[in-house]
A and B are shown apart, each in its own frame.
Chain A
Amino acid sequence: MEKLNSGYGKLQILFDIDLEVPKGEITTIVGPNGSGKSTFLKSLFGLTDIYSGRVTYEGRDITYTPPHEKTKMGISYLPQTNNVFTNLTVRENLRIAGYILNGDELEERINFALEVFPELRGILDRKAGSLSGGQRQMLAMATALVRKTRILMLDEPTAQLSPKLAQVIFDKIVELRDNYDITPILVEQNAKRALEISDVGYMFVSGRVAYGGSAKSLLNHEKFQSYFLGVVGIEEC
């Protein structure tokens, strides 16, 4: 992503974002509320207005590629809320996730997703709207697996989950990176825990990149500690 400026209509949210996501590593974006973290993911996926700048993927310019085309390229985006179809059953959600696949391949991918998320096997005929928060999040991640995701963008995947369930989700994200060659990009409020499982970290403040580097270095960075851990007083970046 080079010098990206984006937002919604006349409201610019992101300013000159320069950022790189290494393949096969977990990249986490942290920052205070309103810093543009979610807008960043939406801009990557093509759900915002892009004023200038460039997004490239494997050398190809995808700045203005529509979302459904990006999905075909293996890029998935799971929003914080409304990330499953509540009126469809779990099975229908998995089927629709592989909309672009043919019959045999679709069944194969659904079986694969159910191997990674065996918790869903017993609830295939339940409406997604009746699932618990953790089950819904797992279903959302399973849908991404069905459609052969290579880059998985997750917006606050552990929001409103108990610490125990959040840990399950974090473990699954690590499993996706380690065992299934998926590159996760996370936006998380649970910043410390997310950075602990990540390889790369970026900190956004007021729509700009305030810091970027290894996740470990960000965890120990003074600005991160001032914003999230209250080690030093809150200061302007």
Chain B
Amino acid sequence: MIDVLIGAIVWSNLLVLLALGLTMTYITTGVPNFAQASFAIVGSYIALTLLRLIGLNPYLSIPVTFILGGILGISTYYIALKPLIKRKASIEMLMIATLAWDLILFGIIGAYSEVLSAITKKTETLFVFTSLDFNIYGIPGRLVVSSLLVLLTILGLYLLLYKTKFGIALRASMENPSLAEAMGINVENTRLFSWFLSGALACMAGSVLPYLQEIIPQTGYFIVVSIFAASIVGGLYHIVGALVGGYIIGVSESLFTYILSILLGPGVLVYSKVISLLMMIVTILLHPRGITGTEMWRRVERWLNL
């Protein structure tokens, strides 16, 4: 049971990082990025490459995956979206563009895994980092590192968004881009920053993901549902929504599946994503703005003076 709990928290931490990026780019650009999960798998392969080629521990490769992930995020915006936004493409067109970009990334990841296999003479189309993990008094490294990453990200985002001029500009651009532009803010720069951060956080989460589960080039397709569910259940219009939704989905997915596997047998484990999918559908039907869009949440915010 402890292992299940640890797995649930680690998975939730990673979902928070992944959903934060999805929510930020949705707020600033207005498009749900279907390639978000593939960003994470790119991060996993960057970590694997650094491990195989220079022997760098995947935890130590996090700064590198963060920066390369940021570059991937900006590239996504520049290559897949900006040309369409300039032509005033509809939201549906932009969604399809991110889906197409996801397929391109999937192809690149697949081809790259084969190339890496040829270089290292190992099978790199399926890998895990679990044997590389460390322990502190019985607490697994993946729990410590993923929790630290979430804490640092939240602290960093808080300082950025509330204590710096650029952060206030970013919040202003998220709320009302045309007014922000009227204030002299270059809204394009704030969009670029959100795409950088989205790619960076996703790749960072991706470099920890192989400590939790096996990675194959198709892993993105399995986790994308959970990322969207986390953002939507928490509220796609509020950054804090990613935090709330990430923990609700991560914990529910892991614990419900565990309980159901005890009751119905291990066969249900492969259907764990159905729980996220159901929670997402119920949210869309009953309260499309998610938990952070409820009146109760607004009262909490007023009470906390946020």
Q: Which residues of A contact B (CB under 8 A)?
A: 9, 45, 47, 66-68, 71-72, 76-79, 82-88, 92, 95-97, 99-100, 143, 147
Contacts and interface: CB of A to CB of B under 8 A. Distances in A.
A72 B182 CA distance: 10
Nearest to B187: A68
B117 interface: no
A97 B182 CA distance: 9
B193 to A, nearest CB: 14
Contact of A85 (B88, B165, B171, B181): B171
Contact of B175 (A45, A77, A87): A87
B111 interface: no
How many of chain B's residues touch chain A, expressed as a range? 10 to 19
Interface in B174-202: 175-176, 178-187
Given A85-B172, A88-B172, A100 B179 contact: no
Interface of B: 88, 165, 168-169, 171-172, 175-176, 178-187
Contact of B179 (A66, A72, A79, A147): A79
A143 B176 CA distance: 15
A143 B180 CA distance: 12
B88 A99 contact: no
Contacts of B183: 68, 71, 96-97, 99, 143, 147
A9 B184 contact: no
Which of B169, B171, B176 is most buried by chain A, counting CB atoms within 10 A of its CB? Answer: B176
A85 B176 contact: yes
Given A9-B88, A86-B175, A67 B168 contact: no
Contacts of A47: 178
Nearest to A82: B176
What is the interface of chain B mostly: helix, strand, loop, or mixed?
Answer: helix
Contacts of B169: 96, 99
B179 A85 contact: yes
Contacts of A95: 165, 168
Given A84-B179, A87-B175, 9 more contacts: A71-B183, A76-B182, A83-B179, A85-B176, A88-B171, A95-B165, A96-B165, A99-B184, A143-B183
A96 B172 contact: yes
A77 B183 CA distance: 9
Q: In the A-B complex, list the 6 residue pairs whose CB atoms are closest, starting with the nearest.
A: A71-B184, A100-B184, A67-B181, A68-B184, A85-B172, A96-B172
Contacts of B181: 66-68
A67 B182 contact: yes
Contacts of A68: 181-187
22 contacts: A9-B88, A45-B182, A67-B178, A67-B182, A68-B181, A68-B184, A71-B182, A71-B183, A76-B182, A79-B178, A82-B176, A84-B179, A85-B180, A88-B168, A88-B175, A92-B168, A95-B165, A96-B180, A96-B183, A96-B185, A99-B165, A143-B183
A143 B175 CA distance: 17
Contact of B182 (A77, A86, A88): A77
Nearest to A69: B184
B162 to A, nearest CB: 9
A85 B184 contact: no
A48 to B, nearest CB: 11
A87 B171 contact: yes
A143 B172 CA distance: 13
Contacts of B88: 9
